[in-house]
Structure 1
Amino acid sequence: MTGNRVVVYKGAGKVAVESIDYPKLELPEDVSSGLKLKKKAPHAAILKLVTTNICGSDQHMVRGRTTAPIGQSLGHEITGEVIETGDDVLFVNKGDICSVPFNIACGRCRMCNEGKTGICLNVNPARAGAAYGYVDMGGWIGGQAEYVMIPYADFNLLRFPDRDQALEKILDLTMLSDIFPTGYHGAYTAGVTTGSTVYVAGAGPVGLAAAHAAQVLGASVVIVGDMNADRLKQAQSFGCETIDLSTDASIEDQIEQIVGEPEVDAAVDAVGFEARGHGSGAGEAPATVLNDIMSISRAGASLGIPGLYVTGDPGAVDDNAKVGQLGVRLGLGWAKSHSFTTGQCPVKKYNRQLMNLILNDKAQIAKAVNATKISLDDAPQGYADFDKGAAKKYVIDPHGMVA
């Protein structure tokens, strides 16, 4: 092997597919030098990408709303076939098809031992936690590519038990790398259980995944709020109630019309820091969703916040928001005894169980998020369409392996 093609950020609103070196069983220079680790990685594996997805988190970078440098490789939602392993890899083999958690984790540090793989201490010198192809996340090459290197492979890879079954269900299984566990994490940490009424803010792929996860967890009513009519129709397609936040009707009134009271048992923020206010023509107001979910959640509720919030946003509406300081009504949440769960989803906490749901036809996540296959060369157009609000989850098929 002599090369590798990967999707690269080229400036605000622009991505391209470029050729880079074929991956080696080595740690990125940022990680090895910054953490004083050996560069050689006999614990790693190289995967041939079967599928890799475009994520809303990638879109934040491509919009120029992070500090990502031009040339940043992209892609953290990875499913692939093992084609090479280091000498210390014992439990995955060539030919295995595996899901890769977007969190890179060593499996050896205190955080990993506590199950907090989203904040591993040994994969990023800048902060706890790392991810493939993401700004400030350790310099790991992205997975919107033909090939990718996965460190600590025995710990990070989730092997599918049957290759033929995996390929048959690949559009569902590809969601295990991020959005299905992330949506599930949002619903689970919001306390969704049998009979719950649930509000999910945002009908993008993570919001739709959270809504489907709430159904799996036994919610009696799942309400999805958004301003995009096509995305609201997608939420309705698998049994969700919806509210249109582009109207001037209050969110409380719209919820009351559905469940008979202006509050819900649990709420999920699947929007993050690029939130907008309510009503026609509303501008960006990054604390909107956080304040909404406190307003419409009952006293004592839990709030799941898988939506991304950043510490550096050069395109923010004010100086406070540029450093992630938002006008959150914390006093309201305190008065209502709310609890909050934020941060990266620890994918390994959920991915095996969710895999079993998919393999046994108990979850239809591809249908819920409208999984749509594209080629690697079509990735730039996929980003453009996703940025326009397409009600689709774009799944890149670099090698034509998806039926």
Structure 2
Amino acid sequence: MLKNRAVAYMKPGKVEIQDIGYPDLILRDGPGVNPLNVGRKCEHGVILKVITTNICGSDQHMVRGRTTAPSGLILGHEITGEVIEVGRDVEFIKKGDLVSVPFNIACGRCRSCKEQDTHICENVNPDRPGSAYGYVDMGGWVGGQSEYVMVPYADFQLLKFPDKDQAMEKILDLTMLSDIFPTGYHGAISAGVRPGSTVYVAGAGPVGLAAAHSAQILGASVVIVGDLNSERLTQARSFGCETVNLREHPNLGEQIEQILGIPEVDCAIDCVGFEAHGHGASTGEAPATVLNSIMEVTRAGGRLGIPGLYVTGDPGAVDEDAKFGTLRIRLGLGWAKSHTFVTGQTPVMKYHRDLMMAILNGKAQIAKAVNATIISLDQAPAAYAEFDQGASKKFVIDPHGSVKSF
């Protein structure tokens, strides 16, 4: 029997590599698995040999201890792999296919899935609509920062790459299709980015950089990225974005005015989420900062895309309200300016095929935009620590040496 090594969350600030056993086509009991999901048969699924699996900022929230994630939870929801075993009920996906796995787990049968709302599938998480691999309170589906992983509902979910050799040549771009490229693109679409738009992106982490690149693809005339981290802002400038350092210059409107001549943009994208900090050199965590600031700088009638993660349970929050996701948001300002807000998980399947074609035909360079950096599975704990310190990199785990050897 093949072994299966994986990245496990152990306690705040610590992940480790464990042997979790080779997967099969059933969801067995384990850390974080919803009791109602234990024993769930998945003959509609496949086993993948993981080619690449990425570390995400959403994983980092758990690793910092900012969620109720249990010790031993296997991490990883950004998965690209080769099919090595297919379930009895799989008809169209074949052994040997190289595929991208949407981070949302979706059955393809419920009302939400049939309406393309695969981010709120009603059949995969007994607690509430929506699920993901390796994530707290998402049903307990085992994460894919591992050598092998089981993926359910394969015929419906998986995006097959048309040519394996071509795909491996562009694997650092294609690995972003499982989450951050569609998430950034969804943020830009939700914000109403179109040719000529002026766009503000809050946050220069990987999702923020993906949103900025997506805004460029959609024809934005100016993309402004704001952050407190100068290294990440340098990365944003590397592919043509304007930047605002909110640690050095806390007045966002003034900085936008220096760039555009007016203190507002057509639309804005929140790629920070609930661990936002206040603007300025010595301010601490203030989780409503980004939401309130983008309302201030977005024109009346504008749209706000909010792919940044907000949670209903944050044990490390700065106050009691924030521990339950209650933030001091200036909703009256948004109402007065007739803003449109779009929140929630990204329905990856709505976008991933189009973005794949953009990559394969040279119209998108997402790996360059987010500074994709290959590491081994054994390097994952160190990469988590480096990412936590604000490294301007998107860490891509290559568990079998498949990328390096290609």
TM-score relative to the length of structure 2: 0.97
Distance 2:104 2:50 in 1: 17
Residue in structure 2 matched with residue 194 of structure 1 by the alignment: 195
Distance 1:43 1:280 in 2: 52
8 Å CA contact 2:307–2:346 kept in 1: the answer is yes
Residue type of the alignment partner of 1:290: L
Residue type of the alignment partner of 1:300: G
Q: Which moved more, 1:23-32 or 1:274-283?
A: 23-32
Q: Are residues 1:287 and 2:292 paired?
A: no
8 Å CA contact 2:49–2:149 kept in 1: the answer is yes
Distance 1:228 1:208 in 2: 13
Q: Where do 1:97-246 residues align within 5 Å? A: 97-246=98-247
Residue in structure 2 matched with residue 303 of structure 1 by the alignment: 304
Distance 1:17 1:260 in 2: 51
What is the identity percentage for the equivalent residue pairs of Structure 1 and Structure 2?
71
Note the alpha carbon deviations across 1:38-63, whole angstroms, 9 max, x for none: 73221000000000000000000000
Residue in structure 1 matched with residue 337 of structure 2 by the alignment: 336
TM-score relative to the length of structure 1: 0.98
Distance 1:226 1:284 in 2: 14
Note the alpha carbon deviations across 1:136-167, whole angstroms, 9 max, x for none: 00111110000000000001100000000000
Distance 1:180 1:249 in 2: 28
Distance 2:177 2:50 in 1: 14
Residue in structure 1 matched with residue 24 of structure 2 by the alignment: 24
Q: Where do 1:242-321 residues align within 5 Å? A: 242-321=243-322
Distance 1:132 1:320 in 2: 28
Where does structure 2 lack aligned partners over 5 or more consecutive residues?
A: none
Segments ≥4 residues shifted beyond 6 Å? none
Distance 1:164 1:92 in 2: 18
Note the alpha carbon deviations across 1:174-207, whole angstroms, 9 max, x for none: 0000000000000000000000000000000000
Distance 1:20 1:224 in 2: 40
Q: Residue 318 of structure 1: SS of its match in structure 2?
A: coil
Distance 1:126 1:291 in 2: 30
Residue in structure 1 matched with residue 66 of structure 2 by the alignment: 65
Residue type of the alignment partner of 2:36: G
Aligned pairs, number: 402
Q: Which moved more, 1:26-35 or 1:75-84?
A: 26-35
Distance 1:127 1:286 in 2: 24
Distance 1:278 1:91 in 2: 51
Distance 2:68 2:378 in 1: 25
Q: Residue 402 of structure 1: SS of its match in structure 2?
A: helix
Residue type of the alignment partner of 1:213: S
Residue in structure 2 matched with residue 388 of structure 1 by the alignment: 389
8 Å CA contact 1:32–1:38 kept in 2: the answer is no
Note the alpha carbon deviations across 1:211-233, whole angstroms, 9 max, x for none: 00000000000000001010000
**Offset of residue 88 of structure 1:** 0.9
Distance 1:367 1:248, change over 3 A: closer
Note the alpha carbon deviations across 1:294-340, whole angstroms, 9 max, x for none: 00000000100000000000000000000000000000000000010
- Please report the RMSD computed on the Cα atoms of aligned residues, expressed in angstroms: 1.2
8 Å CA contact 2:28–2:39 kept in 1: the answer is no
